[in-house]
Amino acid sequence: MNIIADENIIYAEQAFSQFGNVQLIKGRDISNSILKETDALMVRSVTNVNNELLKKTNVKFVGTATIGTDHIDEDYLNENGIEFTSAKGCNSYAVMEYILASVNLFINNQKRKFNEISIGIIGVGNIGSKLEKLFTALGAKVLLNDPPLKRITNKKKYVPLEEVLSADIITCHVPLNLTGKDKTFHLIDEKEIAQLKPGVVLINSSRGPVVNNSALKKRISEKKDICAVLDVWENEPNLDLALMKLVNIATPHVAGYSLEGKINGTKILYDKFCEFLGKEKLWEPVYPEVTNNVISNEYNSEEELIDMLFPCIYNIEEDSNFTKSQILSNKNEISQTFDLLRKNYPLRRELNNYQIKYSTEFKNLVKALRLIPKD
């Protein structure tokens, strides 16, 4: 059996060598000619899987080690009897922590408390639901928008987009739908960006085209009255250099790039591939030990607790500064630099590796953060 995998899928060779020959290739270099004698294909978000890629190949299984599937033509796979699986939910905690690091940064800069702000969450799936619990535990006012869930549940907590756009901080967690009732392409368009109140923080870690990048750039450059955190960009990897300079936090599509999130993605694909083949699941990933993982500082509020965790465990400002410096230093090779930043992203571990002492009043927050109680 021949298996081709994106070279950025962690532990891919270890996991899939049980089934045959594994070849690791750059995701953007995977082509139809390479796949002629391939039986299974494992990709990440940079490889578009469609008729052009798979026609006249032997591929019978496709897996993406990502939660997003807009790069996959699922209709084509279904019509041609090709098994498909995604790694839905694999990095949801990593993205949650990325959002919390962003929010904490602005809370500190504005000298505000969590119970004084409102958080608008657009898309309440694996990530959005975790953020709902987290920010509720922090005492923030949470506004939720998710039209599909509203139709299914008819719950009053799901409010119109216009109401969510009134929040102090707005964060997007939707798939990229180009058409249809739940279209999300330019969900935050010129009209929506014009509605944002001065001082708002807009965060997008879902898909670049969910936010109209040109309209956002225009608002920031002309009025300089809103803040933006962008981990995803229109036309990746050729991001808009002018927009990158303007946003407060710029990262190269790495919000979910914790070690745990990456390994979870590989494990999900491996398990599904075993089930597809009817094979025993033999591979179990080994996680490196986290040393110095006891948080011993004293804290008296939710803000102090969060401030202890960030930026020590994850410094999002360092991520952003490094991203901007590398891309600005290589203006003629933006796309290559963007991909290299992702490929060489430093090791980042999730909060569930860290121990902390806490009193009863912080129980719900510690649980939402998945910190380990320390005796």
Structural domain contains residue 125: yes
Structural domain contains residue 282: no
Model pLDDT, residue 356? 93
Chain length of the chain: 375
Which domain does 270 fall in, by range?
A: 2-86+259-277
Model pLDDT, residue 35? 97
Structural domain contains residue 69: yes
Which residues are known to be catalytic? 207, 236, 253
**What is this structure's pTM?**
0.94
Rounded to 5 degrees, φ, ψ at 169 are -130, 130
Inter-residue contact 66 to 257 (CB < 8 Å): no
Report the run of H or E that residue 192 belongs to, with start and end: helix 190-195
Same domain, 188 and 331: yes
Task: Point out which residues pair with 84 in neighbouring strands.
Answer: 62
Model pLDDT, residue 209? 98
Q: How far, CA to CA in Å, does 164 sit from each of 121, 126, 332?
A: 7, 19, 39
Model pLDDT, residue 311? 83
d(CA 340, CA 39) in angstroms, rounded, equals 28
DSSP 8-state secondary structure symbol assigned to residue 236: T
For the chain, 375 residues long, the average pLDDT of each consecutive 10-residue run is 97 97 97 96 97 97 95 97 96 97 94 96 97 97 98 97 98 96 98 97 98 98 97 96 98 97 98 98 95 89 92 93 97 96 95 92 93 87
Same domain, 231 and 145: yes
Same domain, 206 and 305: no
- CATH of residue 12's domain is 3.40.50.720
